């Protein structure tokens, strides 16, 4: 999980990734939790802050391929279409 351009946790599980990190909000520190689960038709991702679900601004897919455990640059992403592998 990358928070503010810093890797705060790494995972190696193929089926489920479950990350949490402290997150400073206007009312104090809360827990940011990200859960990604592999599904038959794609990947389901859910983000929660203090237990409340965070709705995404957009779903994106990577158009870039690199080494394992690496992350695409900002221009390596595009909006996911209706038929993408992202599970909504």
Written as six digits, the tokens of 82 are 């209706």
Distance of CA 57 to the CA centre of its chain: 12
Percent of the chain residues topping a pLDDT of 70: 75
Q: What is the pLDDT of residue 9?
A: 67
Dump pLDDT digits (tens) for 41-79.
677 888 899 999 988 877 777 776 777 767 778 788 888
Spatial neighbors of 33 by CB under 8 A, at least 6 apart, are 18, 19, 20, 47, 48, 49
Is residue 21 within 8 A of residue 7, CB to CB? The reply is: no
Query: Where are the domains positioned within the chain?
Result: 2-87
Cβ count within 10 A of residue 32: 20
């Amino acid at each position: 999980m990358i928070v503010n351009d810093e890797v705060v946790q790494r995972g190696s599980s193929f089926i489920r990734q479950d990350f949490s990190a402290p997150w400073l909000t206007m009312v104090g520190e809360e827990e940011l939790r990200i859960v990604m689960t592999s599904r038959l038709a794609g990947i389901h991702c859910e983000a929660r802050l203090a237990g409340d679900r965070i709705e995404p601004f957009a779903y994106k897919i990577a158009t870039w391929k690199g080494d394992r455990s690496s992350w695409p640059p900002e221009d390596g992403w595009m909006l996911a279409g209706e038929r993408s592998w992202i599970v909504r």
